[in-house]
Amino acid sequence: MLPIYNVPDAQVSILKRRMVGERAYPERLLAGVERIFGEGVTPEQAVKRILESVRLEGDEALRRWSEKIDGVKLDSFRVPASSFAEAMGSLPPRLIEALRTAAERIRSFHRRQPIPSWEENGLGQRFTPVERVGVYVPGGSAPLPSSLLMSVIPAQVAGVEEIIVCTPPEPHPAILAAAAICGVESVYRLGGAQAIAAMAFGTESLPKVDKIVGAGNVFVTLAKKQVYGLVGLDGLAGPTETMVIADATANPDWVAADLLAQAEHDPLATAILLTPDLALAKAVQQAVERQLPRLSRREIIRQSLESNGGIVLVRDLDEAARLADEFAPEHLCLSVAEPRPLMDKIRNAGGFFLGEYSFEVLGDYVAGPSHVMPTSGTARFASPLNVYDFLKISSVIGLEPSLARELSAVSAEIAHAEGLTAHAAAAELRLGGAPLPTE
Amino acid sequence: MLPIYNVPDAQVSILKRRMVGERAYPERLLAGVERIFGEGVTPEQAVKRILESVRLEGDEALRRWSEKIDGVKLDSFRVPASSFAEAMGSLPPRLIEALRTAAERIRSFHRRQPIPSWEENGLGQRFTPVERVGVYVPGGSAPLPSSLLMSVIPAQVAGVEEIIVCTPPEPHPAILAAAAICGVESVYRLGGAQAIAAMAFGTESLPKVDKIVGAGNVFVTLAKKQVYGLVGLDGLAGPTETMVIADATANPDWVAADLLAQAEHDPLATAILLTPDLALAKAVQQAVERQLPRLSRREIIRQSLESNGGIVLVRDLDEAARLADEFAPEHLCLSVAEPRPLMDKIRNAGGFFLGEYSFEVLGDYVAGPSHVMPTSGTARFASPLNVYDFLKISSVIGLEPSLARELSAVSAEIAHAEGLTAHAAAAELRLGGAPLPTE
Q: Over the stretch B290-345, which tens digit does the pLDDT of each residue have?
A: 999 999 999 999 999 999 999 999 999 999 999 999 999 999 999 999 999 999 99
Cβ neighbours of A411 in B, within 8 Å: 98, 361-362, 364-366
| Interchain contact, A354 vs B398, CB within 8 Å | yes
- Which residues make beta-bridge pairs with A135? A165, A213
Give me the residue from B355, B383, B393 closest to A398, CB to CB.
B355
**Burial profile A94-133: b = 16 or more Cβ within 10 angstroms, e = fewer:** ebbebbbbbbebbbebbebbeeeeeeeebbbbbbbbbbbb
A 329-348: CB under 8 A from B: 339-340, 343, 347-348
Judged against a pLDDT cut of 50, whether residue B346 lies above it is answered with: yes
Whether residue A21 lies within 8 A of chain B, CB to CB, comes out as: yes
What is the distance between the alpha carbons of residues A306 and A287, in angstroms, rounded to a whole number? 16
- Give residue A29's pLDDT: 87
CATH superfamily to which A81-235 belongs: Nitrogenase molybdenum iron protein domain (3.40.50.1980)
Nearest-CA distance A105 → chain B (Å): 10
> Dihedrals φ, ψ of B165, to 5°?
-120, 135
Disruptive mutation site among B392, B431, B439 for chain A (greatest number of A CBs within 10 Å): B392
Tell me the one-letter amino acid at B132: R
Nearest CB partner across the interface for B410, out of A102, A211, A231? A102
- Segment 348-367 of chain B within 8 Å of chain A by CB: 348-355, 357-367
Residue B131: phi, psi to the nearest 5?
A: -75, -45
Annotated active-site residue in A241, A330, A360, A428: A330
Pairing of strands B118-120, B123-129: antiparallel
A423 is catalytic: no
Mark whether A306 is an active-site residue. Answer: no
At a CB cut-off of 8 Å and minimum separation 6, what does B75 contact?
A: none
- Give the residue-averaged pLDDT of B54-83: 95
Query: Of the listed B331, B356, B360, B371, which one is catalytic?
Result: B331
Residue A25, chain B, CB below 8 Å: the answer is no
A301 pLDDT band (50/70/90 cuts)? Answer: very high
Give B66→chain A minimum CA distance, Å.
24
Contacts of residue B104, Cβ cutoff 8 Å, sequence gap at least 6: none
- Among residues B330, B318, B334, the alpha carbon closest in space to that of B380 is found at B330
Number of H helices, E strands in chain A: 18, 14
| Position A173 pLDDT exceeds 90 | yes
Of A144, A254, A347, nearest to B429 by CB-CB distance is A254
Nearest to A423 among B102, B351, B361 (CB): B361
A 230-249 residues with CB below 8 A of B?
230-232, 235-236
pLDDT level of residue B184 (50, 70, 90 thresholds): very high
Q: How near does any CA of chain A get to the CA of B202, in Å?
A: 12
Arithmetic mean of pLDDT, A249-263: 98
Residue B260 pLDDT > 80, yes or no?
Answer: yes
Distances A216 to A26, A137, A239, A370, B422 between C-alpha atoms, Å: 16, 7, 10, 16, 21
Which residue among the candidates B241, B264, B265, B330 is catalytic per the annotation? Answer: B330
- Dist CA B174 CA B145 (whole Å): 6
With cut-offs at 50, 70 and 90, classify the pLDDT of residue B29: confident
> Is pLDDT above 70 for B439?
no
B12 Cβ contact partners less than 8 Å away, ≥ 6 residues apart: none
Partner A contacted by B225 (CB < 8 A): yes
Of A142-146, B1-5, B154-158, the range with the highest mean pLDDT is: B154-158
Measure CB to CB from residue A361 to each of B122, B254, B426 and give the nearest one.
Answer: B426
Global confidence as pTM = 0.95
- Structure confidence at residue A439 (pLDDT): 32
> What pLDDT is recorded for position B20?
54
Q: How would you classify residue B368: left for phi > 0, otherwise alpha for psi between -120 and 50, otherwise beta?
A: left
- Please state the rounded mean pLDDT for residues B354-378: 96
Distance CA A51, CA B20 (A): 11
Domain with CATH 3.40.50.1980 in chain A: 4-14+239-381, 81-235
CB atoms within 10 A of CB A364: 27
Domain B4-14+239-381, CATH among 3.10.560.10, 3.30.1360.30, 3.40.50.1980, 3.40.50.720: 3.40.50.1980
